Each structure stands twice: as C-alpha cells, then as structure tokens.
Chain A
C-alpha cells in the first residue's frame, strides 16, 4: 500500500451502515421477517421501470443511466412469505412498531435526537431492487455521535428507519433477477458526518458502530450488516463505495481510492499541460468492420464474421493517458472499460495504450487501424466490438468519461472489490429523488415512548467487553468475537445454566463451532435451544463435556432431531462411579505389564484407554482422579 499524508491531502471519510432489524414482521406489511436462503421461488414476475420526471422537470442522471442499460427485471417470490405489498400491488400497512422501538434504542445509544413526528419518504431506485421503484425511508433521529477509543467523537448525521431492498440473485443476458424475501425487512441506516480523517480511524468507527448495533435486537447473520464508505480528498470528489464486506478491508479501500483520485487529478493536470480541450473531444466513431475482416486477431475476426461490428474512435493527444495507473492493477483504461461494461453490457474496450499485440493484431492490422482512424503520434485510439446498439452506448460512455478527465474525479457510486480496488456501480443519485410518501401517515414518537426506551438502554459494547474480560478472565478479543458472531446473549444464557466454566462456553461457541464449520459441518443447524439443552445435560452430569463436540457434529447432520433424541441415538448414558471403577480395574488388569514398567507414567496411556470407553458419558476430570487413585493403590500393591 502506498503511503500518503492523509492530513495534507484533506482526506474526509464518512460511513453509512445498514443493519437489518430482528422484528417478527416486515416494516410496512405483516409478512414474516425471514430470509428463504437458497429455496426455489414459487413464482416469477417480469417488470420494467421508467425514469420519472424530477422536481425541475428533468430526469435524474443516475435514473437515466439505469434506464439506458435497458435491463429487464424479473422478481422471484414465495406464496407463503410474500404478499401483494412487496409486489407493489397494495399500499403500505401501518409502520411496524417493534422495528421502530429497536431503531429508537440504537438512536439513543448513539445519543441522537429522536425526531418527534416522522414523515415517510420515498427514495427512487431504478435498478429494480425495489419493485415500486422507490424505497420507503424515514429519518428517525439526528445529530448523535459514537466515541472512539481515544475519546474522539465521530458525529452521527442521521439515523433512518427504512425498508431493505430485494436481493439480487443473478444477471442473465439483459435481465436482473431479484428475490423478494429480503424486500421490506426493517433496516436502520446510520450515516456519520465526514469526521473521519484516517483509514484506520474509519475501520475503528465502523467496528464500533457494528458492535453497538449488534448488542441491540438486530439480525446477526452474514449479510445482515452492510457498510458503505464515502471518501473524498481536497482536490477530488465525494465517492460512495458500496458493499464493503470486511472491516479489515476498509483501510485498503480508502488507500486505493485516495490513489485513484490523486491520479485522476494528475491526469487532469497533464491534459492541461498538453493544452488539450474538452470541447475538441468529438463522438464520431468509425466503422472498422470492413478493413478488419481478415485481422489476425481471432476474436475480432470471429466477431465480425458473426455479424458484430468493430468501431474505433481516435482520442487526440491522449497517448499514455489510458495506460496511466490509477491504483494497483487499474489504469485509466480499466476505468473506462468497466464503465462500458456496466452500461452497455459489452466485455470492455481495446485501446492503443495497451499492447495491441496482446489482442493478436498484426503489424499490418495496426497500420490499417492507424490509417483509417487518422491517428497521429501522440493520439490514442479506442476499439469496441459489438452490435451497433451496444457500440453506440459504449462509445457514448467512452467519450463522456474521457471528457470528464478534464474535470478530474467524476462523482459516482462504486462497488468494493476483493483486492481493495473499486469499480463503477452507478452514477451518484442527485438529491431530487427523495420526496414524501403520499401513501402513509405521519408517525409520532411520544416523549413517553422515548423515556421508556431510554431507561432500559443496554450497556455499551465496549463497556461489556471490558467488564466480561475482567470478570471471566478472558481476552477482550474473545468477547468482541462473541458479539460479532451474534452469540453474546446465548453466552449469557448458558452462563446462567453452567456458571462454573465460562471458558468452556466461549470455546464451544467460538472455537468448536469454527473448527466444525471448517470441516464442512452445517453448524447453522445447531440452534440456541440445542446449546441450552446440551449445557443443561452437562449441568446435571448427564453427559461429560467431551460429549459437546459429538452432539454438535451429529446435530449438524440431523437438524430435525432434538438433543434428547440425539442422546438416545448416541447411546450416551451416564456412567456411575461404580461402573467407572469397574472399567478402570479391568483396564489396569489388562495392562499390568505396562504399569510395572512405567509406574505412574502409565497414567497417560491408561487414561486414553479409559476415555475410549467412557468419553462423553462422565466428566474427564472425575475419570482422571479415579484412575490416579486406583493406579496408586495398584502400585502399592505391586510393591
């Protein structure tokens, strides 16, 4: 990672965190708040979206871009968990009060001011993720803060209560498929002020917000929390990075984005130095299909033969620009190409800053291209292969992006990638896509309601972490992990049942679960109740702690059986101490030679033998004590 002086660059970051709430039903209809996983849908419905005229009688640029993509939308739903509301066929029902209360608790933990009368608003989305074309959202609280370890306060701008969008399943040809089970799940959106001035500080703020959310009644599964990072530098633009998966990737993402913005500014300066003008960039693509019919570039030749067209455009004075690296493994050419991909559906572009021979063009091909495009030394040309329609869209994107190079960093929403880079997702939505929802009533948050929640606020997670760590003598890291795996409440429950060994509980919930998951076990099948049942058996010495893992394995495989049933199935019967003694005597008898030779050192191998017979049926500690006593006696006898 390249090092930057972020302060000098004027880095400003903000976070936008979306968290699903764990209410019983959805926000504006009474469908169950339950994701259906990989279950096959019962029905599909095809729809189209059209941009709507904005306030000033114009179309929002982001909406037009989505419309230009010309994508069909197919919604997939289930008869038992989706109603006509999600399908945009029925007006909204009353706002879910349970969800509102959870959101209020979060707002109060963030020391934000609760809005007294909420107005449901609509936020337009044209990508199809919401069937009605807008998300219902309301501002619930304003002006709070979250405190970092070093006591710096990161301001919370607003907290919104809103509906989650549908889940995108796949894109096939020009159709986007969305599954409706997620649509309408209550969500809080926490937006910070751009108070964050360092990539690692951003990571910490995101972690703290995550911890705080996960101590409330929110959904605690993979994907239930999503974070976006907004990044800008002094000479750049505010860029929204969506879909940040891991906390640890935040510093890299910011670093790369800073690099991209800096280099785009450098390009702008370079173009000024070259005395190039934006208005001289003209969108006049030239048809090269005829002269390239016999090109050595196989995929081009094949494409043209199949009826596609090859078009080119010469960009005056741009030599070297397309090849300039903006961030790791990402050049200006990549930037143009990925935007072309997103909007036209084409695989990308070819440009003369990259080695044309990589695309198997012969020297003669290149000569022909240069001549036909009238490309001079110092120019750069761009080639696009596709149908005429696709090429028109693509060339438009190329020219517009090239033109923006004169301005610097185009404001847009980008998607986070695994390697810390980002790619174009959509244009940044303008402000004029938020307007009052005429289908719903205003919602009043009374002082009394607020007061009751205020009086019952939970502890802050960082306080919990410190307290637990001290009380149970465990690393803070483990408590944090308990919260982030959604196990804090369960831990507390289990501790009530089995207070003698907190370490065992935490190891079971974290380490054992992780290890089994690594082995491919479906640990999701083990419910909270299963853990409670297992530890209850343990408490009454019905099983030994060695049996826990075995129960977990079997439960992963047979999700429909209860722990009690499994216990019978596994023939885990409690062994009495008398039986244990018999077993030990038996084993000592069989191994008398070893005992004579090793004396007390035979303890280890003997313990193994005994445990083979009694594992899980009685506590290992009891076994060990008993074995020791009997062995000592035996040695005395032998002497």
Chain B
C-alpha cells in the first residue's frame, strides 16, 4: 500500500491511507468549503507534506490540505496508459546511414499529461513520428547507450561512447549523432575528440535547451541540423546547436573549442578562441573555414584509457593549500588549475603546488577567463610557477585541459611524454593564433554584413 502513495508524506499520506485510497483512484473529496472530484496523482516528494493532490475533470491539478478534508469517497480508477506511436522509419538506399546514440537527453519525447513527466522517445519509429523530416535526410539506426542526466556523466561513459563510435565508423555507418544533455556536452565532445584517433566520419553531439515536450522546443531543429552535419564531410567530433535565439540556423562547433556559456538560452554554445567551423541553415551547410579533417576511409581507433584521478581546481582569493594537500594525499595524478588572468594562483599555495610536482603529479595551468592564452612569462609569479614545474596550458579551456590530462595519463605515465603531449595540439584544442574577432564575435552581425 505505502509504495502506492509515491511522494506523499505527513497528514496527506495518513488521510489517503485511512481511506484506502491509492494513486490513480478517482475520488470525491468533501471539505468544509466544497467538493472536488479528481484523480489522485503521485506527488513530488519535495512538496509540502500535508496535502493531497488531484487532477480535476478539467485537467487542472490542485492540492487540498488533509486537515480540511471531511470525507473521501472512491468513485473509480483511471491509470494512464500510453500508446507509443510507432511509425516504421522508411529506408531509402540512396540516403546515408546514420547511427543515433542516446545518452538520456530528451531530443524527442512525449509528455505524460497527468504528471508532466517527459517520456523519452527513442526508437527510429518514435523519432520518425515526432520528427518525420529525418527520413528525408538519412536512414536512422538508434541505440540507447545509457539513460542519465548529463551532470551524471562519467569518464567510463565516455569510454563506452568512444567504443560505440569506433564500431559504427568501422562498420559502414556514414555518421554518428549523439543525443546528450547540454550541461556536460562539451566535456564529452572533448573526451571523444581525444579518444577517437583517425576518425573517418562525423560525430555530432546534439541536445536541446527547451525540452521537446513544448511546441517551442529547439530539439527537432537541432536534431535535423545534427543529422545533416552527420552526413557531411566533417570527420571531427563537433557540437551542433542553434546559433541564435531564433529558430533560424545552427552552428557547428569544434568539440575541443566549445563551451556552454549560458544557463538557459538556446544559443548557449559558443566556440571559444575561434569562430565556429561553420553553420547550417535550411539544411545547407556553410563552412567558415577549410582547416578541418575530411571524411576518409581510414580505420577509426578508440583509445579510451582515462586516468580518473585528475582534479580541476578553480583559483580564487582565499584558496587554501589544504585543498591541494588533500589531492596529493589522495593519490591524484594530475591537477588542472583554472587560474586567474594569465594563469595565476595565490603565492600562499606555492609550497603545496611544489610538493605536488615533487610527488610526481602533473600540474597544468589554464585560465578561468576562458578566452585567451595563459601568459606565464609576463609576471614574476607566472615565471615562478613554471619554475616549480607547472605546465602552461596555452589557450586550453579548463575543462578541456582536465579531459586532455586525464586522457594523456591514461595513455602514458612518463612525465616527459605527458608534458610533450599536453603542449601538442592533438584534437584542435590548441590554436596557433587567436583571430581578433574570436573574443566577441556576433554571428548575426557577421552574416548581416556578409563577412562569413
């Protein structure tokens, strides 16, 4: 009985129990004010404890305080059963074959109108009924790799994804699309960029900022754009999401030079230190530059090994050396600093940083300004840090630095090799020159002035 009262607590639970009412029962509740009839709903466990929650005939939900209930009468039961519309995804021999890997985002979903919960749709048939345009672009094969929120992503999952992509690339698929929550999408894109060597096909990460259960969702358009990019000649790991708040064009960002820059807007992803690789509008791709890896016949190799004992430490006034000592004591192999400005941390932790280096921990410096290079020769403090053994991470984003160091330490533990690999451009993460417009580019403006 109790498990049938999901989320109910306190007097709310008591009154339902006493009246032998279960979730999905239709009840008539009499209070001193009036009468309400509706379906008993499961309740969010973080809601106030003493209420019961029903869905009225007119589909509105309301809560009633248990203490005011005079009488409850059971009049029926109505459990929601959902039919999933499965239309067969048509196969067209002339279209490319795309593999869609699911990680748990809601690129396409249906709505549970009773609870408001979003039920992911993921089979080709479900996707076809939600976004029929896909069948005009490709033949689609789907696989749910895991179902997680993207904040719960883990290096092991990157490893699994890398192997899935390797298999798809080497078994004749023309491209891979990965549906991914946007929170940690750029970590995954960076990880796959390093793990997938000699990548022969496009790997496109895509998600949505407005979930697909709402008419204004960006999910369908992003998915359409992503499949187009997956059929293109860009044999790199990229992120494709809307480029402006309008439902107009998508941008193609290199997987190691991109970041989620806003907590909620549609065009949250921005390329950092460079312009995006290109854009996609009305199903047509337009590249802004030509220095990207092209589709090839090469054998894709996954090198998924990853050292998880790498820490990402944000520098801030008051940062205590205990924190560094903790990582050292816990046996960490690498520390990546998101330093201030040109790549600084307070001199008060220098002793601990020195101890870390001496104990064989690789220490990499990146900048929390996100944009620009670290410049550790400008101030004496920077020079001193280098002297201690901190490696300046050039233009690498802190997250990319973290992922890269973890991956390198998974490949080798030789300190010299680690340092060389860190400073070498492996997957487009290190640029040679930062073009002036990279810092505050506005694609809308550039398009309007025909500068792209």
Interface set of A (CB-CB < 8 Å, partner B): 45-58, 63, 84, 87-91, 113-119, 121-122, 124-126, 131-134, 137-139, 142-143, 157-158, 160, 431-432, 434-438, 442, 444
Contact = CB atoms under 8 A, between A and B. Distances in A.
Contact of A442 (B48, B111, B114, B213): B48
Interface in B113-138: 113-118, 121, 129-130
B89 interface: no
Nearest to A435: B113
Contact of B247 (A46, A89, A116): A46
B245 interface: yes
9 contacts: A55-B80, A84-B265, A113-B34, A117-B51, A119-B61, A131-B216, A137-B60, A435-B112, A442-B47
A115 B62 contact: yes
B63 interface: yes
B451 interface: no
Given A142-B34, A435-B114, A117 B264 contact: no
A46 B121 CA distance: 27
A435 to B, nearest CB: 4
A117 B247 contact: no
B220 A47 contact: no
A46 B35 CA distance: 46
A116 B34 contact: no
B83 A116 contact: no
Interface in B208-231: 209-210, 212-217, 220-221
Contacts of B16: none
A118 B62 contact: yes
Nearest to A436: B116
A47 B216 contact: yes
Contact of B217 (A46, A50, A126, A137): A50
Nearest to B209: A89
Given A49-B215, A53-B129, A55-B82, A139 B48 contact: no
A49 B216 contact: yes
B384 interface: no
B216 A133 contact: yes
B58 A158 contact: yes
B84 A121 contact: no
A88 B130 CA distance: 21
B28 to A, nearest CB: 14
Contact of A117 (B31, B62, B110, B212): B62
Interface size classification for chain B: 35 or more
A116 B61 contact: no
Nearest to B263: A90
Interface in B51-77: 51, 53, 56, 58-65, 68
B85 interface: yes
Contacts of A119: 53, 60-63
Chain B interface, DSSP helix/strand/loop, else mixed: loop
A134 B214 contact: yes
A57 B84 contact: yes
B214 A46 contact: no
B36 interface: yes
Interface string B80-117: 10111100000000000000000000000011111111
A47 B63 contact: no
A89 to B, nearest CB: 4
Contacts of A48: 221, 247
Given A133-B217, A437-B116, 4 more contacts: A53-B110, A89-B264, A121-B59, A139-B60
B266 interface: yes
Contacts of A51: 215
B213 A52 contact: yes
A121 B63 contact: no
B246 interface: yes
B61 A436 contact: yes
A85 B216 CA distance: 13
A49 B212 CA distance: 11
B214 A133 contact: yes
B61 A121 contact: yes
Interface in B266-308: 266
A436 B64 contact: no
B14 interface: no
Contact of B60 (A47, A56, A121): A121
Interface string B342-366: 0000000000000000000000000
A142 B213 CA distance: 29
B47 to A, nearest CB: 6
A228 B121 CA distance: 38
A91 B264 contact: yes
A124 B116 CA distance: 13
A117 B65 contact: yes
B33 interface: yes
A409 B59 CA distance: 25
A116 B65 contact: yes
A401 to B, nearest CB: 26
Contact of A58 (B58, B85, B220): B85
A116 B68 contact: yes
B48 A57 contact: no
A52 B220 CA distance: 11
Nearest to B116: A436
A52 B112 contact: no
B248 interface: yes
Contacts of A118: 62-63
A142 B266 CA distance: 38
A88 B116 contact: no
